């Protein structure tokens, strides 16, 4: 099986993965606005605030990524008895597949990182944080919860941001309990003393962290391997996955090394990419992947999140879309996951573009299809095509269909000038996709009445319209296949 196909199969097994994440949670706040003048009080920009957002950061971002991949993580962290701590607990509770085990330490200040952004430029980051070790009561409660959960999960993640939660011997105690239960432990490390991670299955330093922990140069593949093996030898760590930004990743063991090229096509923001890597590794291992397979999938995920703005996550369907890109030469902007399509449509709407939508199986593309797509594109500024997945086509058309795979069908559609975006959907109808995209124009063939068009009521109810395209006589996939059979 080729690598993209093997990884696509792996993505299908991520659902429900049981991972325990222990670490430093924080609240990431984003204040967005415009800057059009300098303050008269000091030579600094004045940010006119437009909106504010808050999301889980630190270990919380690892959990967000696990949820995005379909996992069902347990989350152990410590918050203060303060407004930010309660907001963290609420945000964790919003993810219904997470088992939250928040320990409240009254004297602790919940860590907050506030980023002020003017346009697309980050102007300032302000941190409120505690870096002190846990009280003995909080530590004992956390360790007790961890020992209870470890036998129930497939993988344990330690997300160390240096805020004190994993200090005072807790790291070693959790690693020891994981080893005793036969569960792999992945550590996102902090600091320069990696002996505190002795016994871990894998640590994931970035290039800078690897240099600081070993004092060795880390500019080339060979230098990365030497530095990583120093950690393995001196710190009792089984394996190292060094993330190297634009140079990809290096998976190093005592005897082997695999270097993976970076998958990113465009880099907008590297915030949280390390959390995505750790979450994808853990989710893949929980699904039964080998460490090399997990690293390859994590490399794909990292390439996705650095192409998004802010502390982003990689969804399972983002990974599917990215792997389809690896398999066929489709223009990136024309082949998108559902989440990526929502982001792209939002950008088009911001530019005042009218969004059109049509859908179908498009198996053996024929002149009738081309005519419908041309008519659809004439009704809008940007046309999104919903494409039934292979499984969906089989349910609708029978065991002998589709003739072409969803990847091949998407490739042909994306090559047409009338089509601006192709989104594969798994359901039998595109209703959920239509509800999410809210197109301005919904297009179907004139063999339907308006009241028969799936999603027509949704589009009309939101102020849009349904357009029935003329059909080109004498063309259908079914009749073409029948003629071929004769």
Closest by alpha carbon to 314, among 126, 100, 480, 69?
Answer: 69
- For residue 360, the cross-strand partners are 387
- 220 in helix, strand or coil? coil
Q: Are 151 and 296 contained in the same domain? A: yes
Q: Is the dihedral of CA 429, 431, 437, 442 positive or negative?
A: positive
Pairing state between β 112-118 and 25-38: parallel
The phi and psi torsions of 348 (rounded to 5 degrees) equal: -60, -40
Only one residue has tokens 């530590």, namely 139
CA distances from 441 to 356, 360, 437 (A): 5, 16, 11
Write down which residue in 283, 315, 347 finishes a domain.
Answer: 315
Closest by alpha carbon to 21, among 241, 283, 272?
Answer: 283
Pairing state between β 99-105 and 112-118: unpaired
Domain assignment present for residue 320? The answer is no
Write down which residue in 270, 287, 315 finishes a domain.
Answer: 315
pLDDT of res. 273: 83
DSSP code of 452? Answer: G
The full length of the chain comes to 486
Per-residue burial over 146-182, b if 16 or more Cβ lie within 10 Å, else e, is bbebbeebbbbbbbbbebbbbbeebbbebbebbbeee
Q: Are 151 and 49 contained in the same domain? A: yes
Q: Could you give the CA distance from residue 267 to residue 264 in angstroms, rounded to a whole number?
A: 7
CA distances from 275 to 77, 390, 486 (A): 15, 32, 56
Closest by alpha carbon to 210, among 229, 233, 183, 186?
Answer: 229
pLDDT (tens digit per residue) in 133-156: 899 999 999 999 999 999 999 999
What lies within 8 Å, CB to CB, of 271 at 6+ separation is: 310, 311, 312
Q: Could you give the CA distance from residue 110 to residue 4 in angstroms, rounded to a whole number?
A: 41
Using an 8 Å Cβ cutoff, are 58 and 23 in contact? Answer: yes
Q: What average pLDDT values come out for the chain (486 residues) when binned by 10 residues?
A: 72 92 95 93 93 93 94 96 95 94 93 91 91 91 96 97 90 97 96 95 96 95 96 95 90 94 60 86 95 93 74 79 59 74 83 91 89 95 95 90 89 91 94 95 91 94 93 61 55
Q: Are 354 and 247 contained in the same domain? A: no
CATH of the domain at 367: 3.40.50.620
Q: Are 86 and 142 contained in the same domain? A: yes
Q: Are 101 and 238 contained in the same domain? A: yes
Number of domains in the chain: 2
Distance of CA 123 to the CA centre of its chain: 26
Q: Are 245 and 108 contained in the same domain? A: yes
Q: Are 282 and 347 contained in the same domain? A: no
Write down which residue in 315, 344, 361 finishes a domain.
Answer: 315
Q: Could you give the CA distance from residue 486 to residue 477 in angstroms, rounded to a whole number?
A: 14
Q: Are 338 and 303 contained in the same domain? A: no
* Residue 25 domain boundaries: 3-315
Per-residue burial over 197-227, b if 16 or more Cβ lie within 10 Å, else e, is bebbbbbbbbbebbbebbeeebeeeebbbeb
Using an 8 Å Cβ cutoff, are 296 and 323 in contact? Answer: no
Closest by alpha carbon to 258, among 219, 286, 228, 285?
Answer: 228
Domain assignment present for residue 326? The answer is no
- For residue 185, the cross-strand partners are 156
pLDDT of res. 403: 87
Domain assignment present for residue 322? The answer is no
Q: Are 292 and 403 contained in the same domain? A: no
Domain assignment present for residue 37? The answer is yes
Tokens representing residue 344 in the block: 């792209």
Domain assignment present for residue 325? The answer is no
- Count of helix runs (H) and strand runs (E) in the chain: 17, 18
Per-residue burial over 11-46, b if 16 or more Cβ lie within 10 Å, else e, is beebeebbbbbbbbbbbbbbbbbebeeeeeeeeebe
Q: Could you give the CA distance from residue 407 to residue 390 in angstroms, rounded to a whole number?
A: 9
Q: Are 107 and 78 contained in the same domain? A: yes
The phi and psi torsions of 3 (rounded to 5 degrees) equal: -60, -50
pLDDT of res. 317: 78
Catalytic residue among 24, 275, 317, 318: 275
- Judged on CB neighbours under 10 Å (0-12, 13-18, 19+), 433 is buried
Does residue 470 have an active-site annotation? no
């Amino acid at each position: 099986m080729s690598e993209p196909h093997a990884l696509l199969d792996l993505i299908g097994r991520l659902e429900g993965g049981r991972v325990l994440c222990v670490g430093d949670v924080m609240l990431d706040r984003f204040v967005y606005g415009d800057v059009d003048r300098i303050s008269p009080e000091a030579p600094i920009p004045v940010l006119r605030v437009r909106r504010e957002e808050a999301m889980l950061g630190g270990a919380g971002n690892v959990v967000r990524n696990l949820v995005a991949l379909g996992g069902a993580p347990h989350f152990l962290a410590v918050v203060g008895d303060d407004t930010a701590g309660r907001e963290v607990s609420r945000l964790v509770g919003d993810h219904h597949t997470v088992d939250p085990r928040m320990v409240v330490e009254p004297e602790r200040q919940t860590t907050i990182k506030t980023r002020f952004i003017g346009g697309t430029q980050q102007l300032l980051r302000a941190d409120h944080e505690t870096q002190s070790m846990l009280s003995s009561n909080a530590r004992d409660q956390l360790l007790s919860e961890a020992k209870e959960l470890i036998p129930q999960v497939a993988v344990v993640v330690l997300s160390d941001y240096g805020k004190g939660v994993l200090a005072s011997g807790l790291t070693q105690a959790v690693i020891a309990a994981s080893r005793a239960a036969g569960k792999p432990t992945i550590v996102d490390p902090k600091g320069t003393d990696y002996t505190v991670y002795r016994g871990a299955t894998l640590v994931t330093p970035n290039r800078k962290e690897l240099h600081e922990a070993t004092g060795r140069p880390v500019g080339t593949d060979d230098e990365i391997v030497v530095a990583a093996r120093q950690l393995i030898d001196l710190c009792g760590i089984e394996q190292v996955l060094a993330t190297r930004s634009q140079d990809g990743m290096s998976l190093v063991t005592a005897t082997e090394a695999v270097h993976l090229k970076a998958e990113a096509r465009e880099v907008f923001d590297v915030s949280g990419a390390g959390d995505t890597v750790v979450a994808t590794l853990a989710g893949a291992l929980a699904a039964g992947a080998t460490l090399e397979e997990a690293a390859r999938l994590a490399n794909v995920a990292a390439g996705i999140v650095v192409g998004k703005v802010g502390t982003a996550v990689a969804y399972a369907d983002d990974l599917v879309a990215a792997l389809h890109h690896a398999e066929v030469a489709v223009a990136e902007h024309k082949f998108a996951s559902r989440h990526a399509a929502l982001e792209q449509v939002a950008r088009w709407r911001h530019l005042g573009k009218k969004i059109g939508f049509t859908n179908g199986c498009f198996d053996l593309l024929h002149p009738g299809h081309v005519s419908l797509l041309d008519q659809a594109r004439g009704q809008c500024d940007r046309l999104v095509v919903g494409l039934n997945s292979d499984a969906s086509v089989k349910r609708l058309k029978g065991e002998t269909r589709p003739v072409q795979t969803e990847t091949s069908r998407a490739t042909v559609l994306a090559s047409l000038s009338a089509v601006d975006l192709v989104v594969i959907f798994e359901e039998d109808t595109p209703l959920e996709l239509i509800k999410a995209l809210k197109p301005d124009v919904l297009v179907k063939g004139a063999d339907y009445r308006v009241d028969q068009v799936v999603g027509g009521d949704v589009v009309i109810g939101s102020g849009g319209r349904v357009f029935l395209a003329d059909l080109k006589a004498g063309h259908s996939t079914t009749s073409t296949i029948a003629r071929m059979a004769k």
